[in-house]
């Protein structure tokens, strides 16, 4: 949808006065950041939209920005909103072409609204921005998702994962103390996983051994079990075996996955409220021993263990992991963190000093600038061990809390390289966490590259995907809880309805867009 239509239909009553004040640099300094005599950089201020994170509010006295200002002459004027209000604020700013000088947007927003002169075309300045040029030369995916239909480059996508595709996020949790007390061995196959849950239920009849924090999403029960039985992550995704997009319910094994989940539900091995649980209710079941097995972010393993002990579970309480499993003949894998994120830093097309703004962004992409945003200050937030950064040990197992709160480091909407921060964090993990990483390493494969959709493809996705996902979640839940019997007839009806809602159209679109973006192999 064109910006003019968006304004006319959704934002006719928006008050613009307060937003207009947030855009445009506050000085008319020339583009050269230094004086003619080579003196210190001339001062300039740029506005920047951010939100307050739970770890700590945005501060004006973070030391890294004092250091950055001393090096560049740039003072950052953070425009702070709530986390809940960030998306709406950003969308209003885009629709009214009143974005802050620096702003984090989705790469899709950059491609769509950059050509409308909302965001600065960085391609015009790459000859004066060596770090930006090197970045786009080094990461073709970043260039692909940042490039608009007119060939302009409008965002600098965030780096999320390592180029080798090794970093990952999720593991199977298990109550290690309970497993050892009951004399159980870690399961390695789907059949062993079923028997493992049966044994836990026999030892603890009042429990529901398996619990899930959500039916869908990265850690969702349908996502994890669907992948284990079909090799497809989620409903639509790239199949790592043939490098083509697939719709999981079309694949052999998806019906079997639903049958398996129904068996777990019927035998009370799966929490009967799994599809309705809030995050707090899921956590309570894990902390209080009502459930023993779940699939979740590996970063929360130790913090949940400590939380349970502090709540009276006893010092013997310990969460650990069990191996990832898959049906025989199905690739047993987990996608790594994506290399390139789906958001990026953009500069307002209305910024007063365009060259100076690009110079500043180029500095933030340099090793020194990137280190400030992702690591902080050497000797205060991180040290070097064998030449590689390591966060200070006193920050503990969750260094991102003090880093974000006290230093503004690794802060969402500010950092440009989350991969660098994660690398420093994981290098300082305890031996248990390193062993877990090593045990899962064999399952990790590089995440799919993002695809660039045309306006028509985006409209197709908007018109069909949400309704299809709702139907899939609802119908699979009906199968699992026994509301709808699972047989060849009902499963065919399930697939037929999915097709009516657009599964074939979406699948063809994803494969077409993927081939167009990166070329057929």
- pTM, to two decimals: 0.84
Q: Say which residues have a Cβ less than 8 Å from residue 37's Cβ, sequence separation at least 6.
A: none
- DSSP single-letter state for residue 195: H
- Predicted pLDDT of residue 162: 85
Same fold, 44-159+341-416 and 170-335+451-519: yes
Q: Chain centroid to CA 475: how far?
A: 27
pLDDT the model gives residue 34: 53
Rounded Cα–Cα distance for residues 428 and 393 (Å): 7
What parts of the chain have a pLDDT lower than 50?
1-32, 35-37
Furthest-apart CA atoms within the chain: distance in Å: 82
Q: Which fold has domain 44-159+341-416?
A: D-Maltodextrin-Binding Protein; domain 2 (3.40.190)
Sheet harboring 319-322: ordered strands across? 293-297, 170-175, 319-322
Tens-place pLDDT, residues 109-142? 999 999 999 999 999 999 999 999 999 999 999 9
Tell me the β-bridge partners of 391: 382
pLDDT digit string, tens, across residues 162-188 = 888 889 999 999 999 999 999 999 999
**Do the beta carbons of residue 356 and residue 467 sit within 8 Å?**
no
Q: How many CA atoms lie within 13 A of 423 on its CB side?
A: 20
Angle at Cα 149 formed by Cα 145 and Cα 153, nearest 5°?
50
pLDDT at 35: 45
- What is the model's pLDDT at position 28? 35
Any residues with CB less than 8 A from the CB of 499 and at least 6 apart, and which?
none
What CA–CA distance (Å, rounded) separates 137 from 84?
Answer: 35
Helix (H) or strand (E) holding 362: helix 354-365
Residue 417 three-state SS = strand
| Residues ≥6 apart with Cβ < 8 Å to 31 | 353, 354, 355, 356, 359
What is the pLDDT at residue 17? Answer: 34
pLDDT of residue 163: 81
Give dist(CA 248, CA 446) in Å, integer.
19
- The pLDDT value recorded for residue 20 is 36
The pLDDT of residue 519: 80
pLDDT at 40: 73
Task: Name the class of domain 170-335+451-519.
Answer: alpha beta
20-76 tens-digit pLDDT: 333 444 333 333 455 444 567 899 999 999 999 999 999 999 999 999 999 999 999
């Amino acid at each position: 949808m064109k910006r003019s239509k968006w304004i006319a239909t959704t934002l006719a009553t928006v008050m613009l006065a307060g937003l207009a004040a947030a855009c445009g640099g506050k000085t008319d300094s020339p583009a050269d950041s230094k004086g003619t005599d080579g003196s210190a950089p001339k001062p300039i201020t740029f506005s920047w939209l951010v939100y307050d994170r739970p770890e700590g509010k945005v501060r004006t006295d973070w030391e890294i920005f004092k250091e950055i200002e001393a090096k560049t002459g740039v003072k950052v004027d953070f425009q702070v909103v709530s986390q809940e209000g960030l998306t709406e604020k950003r969308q209003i700013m885009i629709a009214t072409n009143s974005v802050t000088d620096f702003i984090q947007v989705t790469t899709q927003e950059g491609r769509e609204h950059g050509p409308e002169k909302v965001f600065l075309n960085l391609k015009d300045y790459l000859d004066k921005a060596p770090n930006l040029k090197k970045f786009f030369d080094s990461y073709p995916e970043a260039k692909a998702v940042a490039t608009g239909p007119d060939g302009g480059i409008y965002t600098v996508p965030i780096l999320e994962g390592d180029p080798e595709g090794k970093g990952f996020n999720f593991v199977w949790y298990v109550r290690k103390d309970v497993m050892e007390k009951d004399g159980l061995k870690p399961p390695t196959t789907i059949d062993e996983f079923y028997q493992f849950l049966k044994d836990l239920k026999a030892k603890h009849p009042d429990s529901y051994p398996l619990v899930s924090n959500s039916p869908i999403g990265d850690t969702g029960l349908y996502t994890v079990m669907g992948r284990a039985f079909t090799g497809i992550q989620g409903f639509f995704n790239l199949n790592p075996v043939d490098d083509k997009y697939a719709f999981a319910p079309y694949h052999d094994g998806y019906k079997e996955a639903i049958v398996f989940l129904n068996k777990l539900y019927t035998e009370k091995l799966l929490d009967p409220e799994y599809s309705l649980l809030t995050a707090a209710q899921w956590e309570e079941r894990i902390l209080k021993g009502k459930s023993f097995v779940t699939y979740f972010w590996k970063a929360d393993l130790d913090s949940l263990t400590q939380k349970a002990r502090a709540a009276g579970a006893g010092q013997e309480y310990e969460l650990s992991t069990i191996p990832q499993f898959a049906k025989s003949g199905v690739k047993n894998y987990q996608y790594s963190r994506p290399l390139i994120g789906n958001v990026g830093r953009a500069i307002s097309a209305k910024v007063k000093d365009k060259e100076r703004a690009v110079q500043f962004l180029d500095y933030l992409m340099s090793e020194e600038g990137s280190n400030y945003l992702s690591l902080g200050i050497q000797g205060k937030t991180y040290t070097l061990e064998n030449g590689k950064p390591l966060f200070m040990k006193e920050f503990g197992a969750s260094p991102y809390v003090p880093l974000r709160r006290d230093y503004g480091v690794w802060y969402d909407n500010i950092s440009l390289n989350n991969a660098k921060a994660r690398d420093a964090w994981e290098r300082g993990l305890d031996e248990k966490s390193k062993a877990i990483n090593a045990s899962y390493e064999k399952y990790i494969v590089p995440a799919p590259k993002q695809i660039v959709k045309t306006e028509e493809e985006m409209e197709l996705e908007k018109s069909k995907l949400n309704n299809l996902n709702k139907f899939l979640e609802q119908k699979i839940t009906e199968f699992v809880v026994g509301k709808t019997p699972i047989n060849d007839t009902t499963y065919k009806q399930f697939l037929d309805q999915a097709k009516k809602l657009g599964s074939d159209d979406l699948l063809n679109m994803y494969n077409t867009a993927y081939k167009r973006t990166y070329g057929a192999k």
